A and B are shown apart, each in its own frame.
Chain A
Amino acid sequence: MKGEVAVIGVGLHPNGVFANKECPELAMYAILEAIQNAGIDKNEIDAILTQDTFSDRWYNSDLSWCKLVEMLGLEGKCRINFRISSGGSTSSTAVHAAAGMILMGKAKCVLVSHADKLNSGFESIQQVIDAFSSFGMSQEFEAPFGYNQQAVSAFVANLYMKATGATSKDFAAVALSMRKWAALNPNALIRKVPALEDIINSDMVVSPFTKRMCNVTCDGAEAFIIASREFAEKVCNKPVYVLGMNSIVTHYSIMNNPFARNINVKNINFWSSWEKVANESYQEAGLKPEDIDIAEFYDAYPILPLITLEACGFVEKGKAGQFVLDGNTWPGGKLPMTTNGGMIAGGHTGTGGGLGIFCEAIKQLKGEAGERQVANAKYALTTESGGQGMDAHVLILGGEQP
């Protein structure tokens, strides 16, 4: 499948608080930008996939995937429409589904859309917290203990510290890297760059993460259009090819991840699933870690970028914190990482968090990333993970075919 499908356009509504806009309005903003960015006639879209949304039933039980067919005037033209969901990894899942339909010849130009209001769509911040303390987990064996989605990353971070000797400073370095990129991104939620010490010394939220290491939920919308190579090359002067994509699902509840069941301090292993899918994707793409110009890593919290920097072959195990601290992933660094500011600084729109990072990879490879543009970026590696870190997705994208 290498290079047989390509992303041709992306669109993003800024992240923030938009109490006076409903999800359909946010969604259409991003979709229209994506259509314009792809340079296509809207009537070319023959499949519509919408991602899961938490705050608004429009995207779920109100069948947004079908309503969008009407809103875009595609009645009788769109061949298939459905909702797609794997939490934080949904944009990778959507690429997989779209690629399958395209390679089967059942679609040629697929629109993927998401909008959510994780700030103004709820009555209070406490309601948002309660939602993320009950979504995606067992209501019987997890929620009663005050577990929440922040604890997922914190569990792994505490193990990572035990296994590698990492400290709070390493996590702060990742948050700082995100802040530095977000400062250059007009769509980002938080654009101030604090001192490293301020990140370390901000209030403890969920140990070992302090307030400035945690993402902030917000409203936003994202969209992308993916097409067959033939169609992409006809309509778009800079298609971004999907060169490799692989994934694996390791657990539902993090308590049943093999690292917990086989706990042994001498051999704590959270790298293996990421190593597997990264190696498969490198092989598929015919590329090596040193060929990658940008690492568009899923964050949500500062632990996953460290693990994936190591598992994807960029840094030795246990050395990722120092690598980030030395400025390698910051603007001007040798491996720019999560250049939209991720969710830690860019803002968390739910399943759109990963989608925003994916769209950023496309912008970079198309050379449309504005102030954040990484010069001569040819290849990007993206990672995504959903639920309680249930899966590992690695995609390799190229502005050209190797």
Chain B
Amino acid sequence: MSEKWARSQRKFIKRVFTPKITNYTKPFWEGTKNHQLKYQQCKNCSYIFFPPQPNCPNCLSADLGWKISAGKGVLATFTNIHFAAPSWMSEKMPYTVIIVRLDEGFTMMSNLINHKPKDIEIMKRVEAVFNDVSDEITLPYFQPVEEQ
């Protein structure tokens, strides 16, 4: 993560996209601040889901618990953005946007960082890394897991 990107991220968060944190997503953002990736699991039916919401999409129960993910998963798909990026990312082109399927079973969107071109591969093992982009916001990114 270059300092320059961190700066542009900070700028964008403040200028355009400070995520509007809601009552039910707050624990997720508190988690990332502590460099933890949190997700919800329904206490009634055990269903795991993401992004956070006030009720279980499976059984509609509001009795939900928060768990900490091990932060490891597979790259489900990706794209490299070389052109026509939003203004808050234009200094970072090209960058890689990915969908990650975490080992716990939920999926999320993120960026792949600290990678070589050969790492951008569907089913590649990845792990979460955290970037403190402002005092309020820490974004979860992913990097390739080094082969043993």
**Chain A residues engaging chain B, CB cutoff 8 angstroms:** 126, 129-130, 133-134, 138-148, 150-151, 154-156, 158-159, 162, 203-207, 211, 214, 253-256, 259-261, 263, 265
Contacts and interface: CB of A to CB of B under 8 A. Distances in A.
In the A-B complex, the 8 residue pairs with the smallest Cβ-Cβ separation, listed nearest first, are A133-B86, A146-B89, A154-B79, A140-B19, A207-B80, A263-B76, A205-B83, A204-B82
Given A138-B51, A147-B97, A263-B123, A206 B111 contact: no
A143 B19 CA distance: 9
Contacts, number: 131
Contact of B110 (A134, A145, A159): A145
Interface of B: 9, 12-13, 16-17, 19-22, 25, 50-51, 74, 76-90, 92, 95, 97, 99, 101, 105-111, 122-123, 137, 139
Contact of B19 (A144, A253, A261): A144
Contacts of A155: 77-79, 97, 99
B99 A254 contact: yes
13 contacts: A130-B87, A141-B50, A141-B108, A143-B17, A144-B12, A150-B81, A155-B99, A158-B78, A205-B81, A255-B76, A256-B50, A261-B105, A265-B123
Nearest to B86: A133
B109 A255 contact: yes
A263 to B, nearest CB: 4
Contacts of A260: 76-77, 99, 101, 107
B86 A206 contact: no
A140 B84 contact: no
A183 to B, nearest CB: 25
Given A126-B87, A144-B137, 6 more contacts: A141-B50, A142-B109, A144-B12, A151-B97, A155-B97, A206-B80
B139 A206 contact: no
A138 B123 CA distance: 24
Contacts of A133: 85-86, 89
